[in-house]
Amino acid sequence: MRVMLDNSIFAHSQFAEAAKGPQGPCFGAKNQHHLVCGFIRKKLDPSIEYQAQKDALFTIGRLIREKAFEAFTYQELMYEKMRRTIGENVFDALDGCRLTRCPPAIERSRFQMGNFFEFARKGGKKDQKRDAKTELGQIAFMKMLCSLDEGGIRCILGMKAVLGLPDFEVESFRELKCFQGLCAISQSPEHYPDMFHLWTTQRNHIDVFLTLEKKLPEIAKTIENSRKIKVGYPTRVLRPLQFLESLGVTNADPVPIEPGRFYPFIEVWDSWYRSHRYVEEQPTDSTALRD
């Protein structure tokens, strides 16, 4: 099975935040009251259902590491990852997971060039409120794709050699009505990037688009029931618990960080180092041992 991981999965995979607390018994009874750096668990979500979806990410991460399925990402999702605050690596549900990169349905950099930070923006309402430049953002590019008619598509395909379009993207332009239909159903430019992620997932024949968002699965159901959109590959949009259920996993792994407990940095680092350190293979024959 092939699974694309939405940015919301990465945004909530880190369960710890930095804090100061008592160092504990590591340095003797007399020193336990001294404050040291460490970690505590982030506040639980008010929604029990949503928190359960996030907690299931530890099971998702384990299955990726065990190669139960292949996890994917691509450039536009990586741009979104750059826009959020970098969290703590410890107690990360996706720690040690290897991701395969796939090509976007259409490479945006062939049509937009300029300041990298402007290029990486979404270009939605939040950016507009901050008076940030949005001409190079994701939404501006996707609005341009939605505005193309058959004549515009023929013009672009006629310049495929100049633009350096590979066959994969040529086929995407020929199927552009699919993306335009997805955007029409989403009813808002704010959802265009999600529709592009879903379209890219479909174009790469990936089975599941895994997300924590609540609205996206609802939009996906509307898309499935629509007769106007001819989807080349049927990708399912699932949240973590529904995805695990589809795999036959009924019991999620326990979350390894407890609410209300302080974890001193030195204890966490020692545990993390032991689980990540490189172990050299030892020679097994006597000649190698002598050498």
The pLDDT tens digits of the residues spanning 189-200 come to: 999 999 999 999
Question: What's the domain count of the chain?
Answer: 1
For the segment 189-213, the average pLDDT, to the nearest whole number, is 95
User: Bigger pLDDT: 219 or 68?
Assistant: 68
Report the range of poorest mean pLDDT among 24-38, 112-126, 265-279: 265-279
List, for residues 3-35, the tens digit of each pLDDT value.
999 999 999 999 999 888 877 666 566 666 678
Q: Is residue 247 part of a domain?
A: yes
Q: What are the φ/ψ torsions at residue 205 (nearest 5 degrees)?
A: 55, 45
Q: Is residue 114 part of a domain?
A: yes
Q: Report yes or no on 54 lying in a domain.
A: yes
Which pLDDT belongs to residue 117? 84
**Cα–Cα dist 9/59, whole Å:** 12
* pLDDT of the residue at 277: 44
In this predicted structure, the answer to whether residue 88 has a pLDDT above a threshold of 90 is no
pLDDT at 29 (0 to 100): 61
Parallel, antiparallel or unpaired: strands 16-22 and 35-41: antiparallel
Q: How many CA atoms lie within 13 A of 91 on its CB side?
A: 27
Residue 290 has pLDDT above 80, yes or no: no
In a domain? residue 58:
yes
Q: What's the pLDDT score for residue 279? A: 38
pLDDT at 131: 79
Contacts of 104 (CB under 8 A, 6+ apart): 74, 75, 76, 196, 200
Q: How confident is the model at residue 281 (pLDDT cuts 50, 70, 90)?
A: very low
Residue 280 pLDDT greater than 50, yes or no: no
Mean pLDDT of 58-76: 95
- What average pLDDT does the segment 110-139 reach? 85
For residue 289, tell me if it sits in a domain. Answer: no
241-265 tens-digit pLDDT: 999 999 999 899 999 999 999 888 8
Tell me the pLDDT of the chain averaged across its residues.
Answer: 86
Q: How far apart are CA 104 and CA 290, in angstroms?
A: 53
pLDDT of residue 288: 40
Q: Which of 21-30, 67-76, 98-107, 132-141 has the lowest mean pLDDT?
A: 21-30
Question: Per the domain annotation, does 28 fall within a domain?
Answer: no
Residue 183: is its pLDDT beyond 60? Answer: yes
pLDDT at 218 over 80: yes
Of residues 42 and 29, more confidence is placed in: 42
| Owning domain of residue 72 | 2-18+50-261
- What distance in Å separates the CA atoms of residue 38 and residue 42, rounded to the nearest whole number? 13
Q: Is residue 141 part of a domain?
A: yes
Q: Is the pLDDT of residue 54 over 90?
A: yes
194, part of any domain: yes
User: Residue 240: pLDDT above 50?
Assistant: yes
